[in-house]
Structures are given as C-alpha cells and as structure tokens.
C-alpha cells in the first residue's frame, strides 16, 4: 500500500466530475490496489472519508470510516465503507447544519446544510450492490464524500461565510456548541 498525496483546494482534479468505474476495471488487481491506497491514505491523514479525486484519480470511488477519530471526536462511528459509482437519494425534506472540514481544504471549517436521511446505492469493492439508509451526522459524511465525486467542495455549500474559521479557532470557540448540536441530531435522526 502507498500513502498518496492529497490534492489541495485549487487543484483542477477537485473540480472535475469523476467518471464511472466499469465492472472490468473494478475487478483488476491494479484497481483493488488503488482502493487499498485510498483507505490507507484516509487513515494516515485521520480523515472521516476520502474520495478518489482527492488523490488525483477522477473515478467514482470513495472510502468512509469513522472509528473514534481524533479529528472528529464527536462524530458517531461508521464502519469502513467503500462506495463505487454511488448514488444518494434524500429521504424527506429534513436537513441539519453540519460544521465541516476537509483534507483538501486544510485548516478551514464551515457550516453546511445537509439532508438528514439518505438512501445510498452503490457497488462495494467486490462489485456487489449496496442499498442502505444512513441518517444524521453520518448522512452528512456520506454527502460530503460523494460531493467530491461531482467536483464539489464543502466550501461551495457554505451558506454563511461568517461561519468559516480555522481548526484552532473552531476548537477554541465553536466545538462545544457543535458537540451539543451533534447530540441533538443523533437524538432526532440517529447516527
């Protein structure tokens, strides 16, 4: 496995919609090795997720995992999930505000509105269909990663630019309130 470089805001690949992955390509040892690299890079950077175009490969693949992540100590755990060619469908009109950061936008956080409940359809890394629902804070994580595959960054979805702040100032001024908001979201919609 190789730890790959993570594209930073301004890199054209981050604004490029990713192409679909064919079943033939997915089954190759080379592509499976790429998925291993994507996961290793996400874990090394302590990310909650990582999309392929964040490591300079514009293909529709993302990995998501939250396991007592020190960057996001308030986020509910999500088991390792690899999505190939994902499609998200909002379930209902409920939304919530989520303070987000990104490995491709280092040292910056901001408030983004996300759907509270989603249906997720994709293939797993073995080409098997996935079809499940995700709610609350975890739904926000899935939307953030799939946005990358369409060339969108969380900063594009920030409605109020006065919510933008550095990581240090987030911890100093806003994290306590965010922890409380996360509890409320989890109580209402689940993880």
Cβ atoms 83, 68 nearer than 8 A:
no
- Domain membership of residue 77 (yes or no) is yes
User: Where is the binding site for Fe cation, in residues?
Assistant: 102, 144, 148
CA distance 123 to 130: 5
pLDDT at 186: 86
178 compared with 81, residue with greater pLDDT: 81
Q: Domain holding 118: CATH number?
A: 3.90.45.10
pLDDT at 71: 81
Say what the pTM is.
0.95
Name the residue range of residue 71's domain: 12-189
Whether the per-residue pLDDT at 57 is higher than 80: the answer is yes
CA distance 153 to 1: 27
pLDDT band for position 100 (50/70/90)? very high
Average of pLDDT values for 77-101? Answer: 96
Number of domains making up the chain:
1
CA distances from 58 to 10, 15, 17, 23, 67 (A): 15, 10, 7, 16, 26
- Domain membership of residue 98 (yes or no) is yes
- Domain membership of residue 166 (yes or no) is yes
**Pairing between strand 49-51 and 61-66?**
antiparallel
- Domain membership of residue 2 (yes or no) is no
- The Cβ of residue 132 has, within 10 Å, a number of other Cβ atoms equal to 10
- Domain membership of residue 21 (yes or no) is yes
Whether the per-residue pLDDT at 191 is higher than 80: the answer is no
Please identify which of the residues 24, 145, 175, 187 carries the catalytic annotation. 145
- Domain membership of residue 3 (yes or no) is no
- Domain membership of residue 156 (yes or no) is yes
> Where do the H-state alpha helices sit in the chain?
23-26, 29-44, 136-149, 154-157, 167-169, 175-189
Residues 6+ apart with CB under 8 A from 180: none
- Domain membership of residue 7 (yes or no) is no
Give tens-digit pLDDT for 4-46. Answer: 999 999 999 999 999 999 999 999 999 999 999 999 999 999 9
User: Where is the binding site, in residues?
Assistant: 102, 144, 148
145 labelled catalytic: yes
CA distances from 135 to 111, 114, 139, 143, 190 (A): 18, 10, 5, 11, 6
């Amino acid at each position: 496995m190789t730890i790959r470089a993570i594209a930073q805001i301004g890199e054209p690949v981050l604004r490029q919609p990713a192409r679909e992955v064919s079943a033939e390509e997915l089954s190759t040892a080379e592509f499976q090795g790429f998925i291993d690299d994507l996961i290793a890079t996400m874990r090394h950077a302590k990310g909650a997720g990582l999309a392929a175009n964040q490591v300079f490969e514009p293909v529709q693949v993302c990995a998501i995992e939250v396991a007592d992540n020190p960057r996001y100590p308030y986020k509910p755990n999500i088991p390792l999930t690899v999505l190939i060619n994902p499609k998200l469908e909002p379930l209902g009109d409920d939304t919530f505000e989520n303070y987000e950061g990104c490995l491709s936008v280092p040292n910056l956080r901001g408030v983004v509105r996300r759907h509270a409940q989603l249906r997720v359809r994709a293939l797993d890394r073995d080409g098997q269909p996935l079809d499940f629902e995700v709610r609350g804070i975890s739904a926000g994580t899935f939307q953030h990663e799939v946005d990358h595959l369409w060339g969108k960054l969380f900063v594009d979805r920030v409605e109020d630019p006065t919510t933008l702040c550095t990581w240090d100032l987030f911890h100093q001024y806003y994290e306590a309130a965010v922890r409380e908001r996360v509890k409320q979201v989890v109580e209402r919609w689940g993880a």
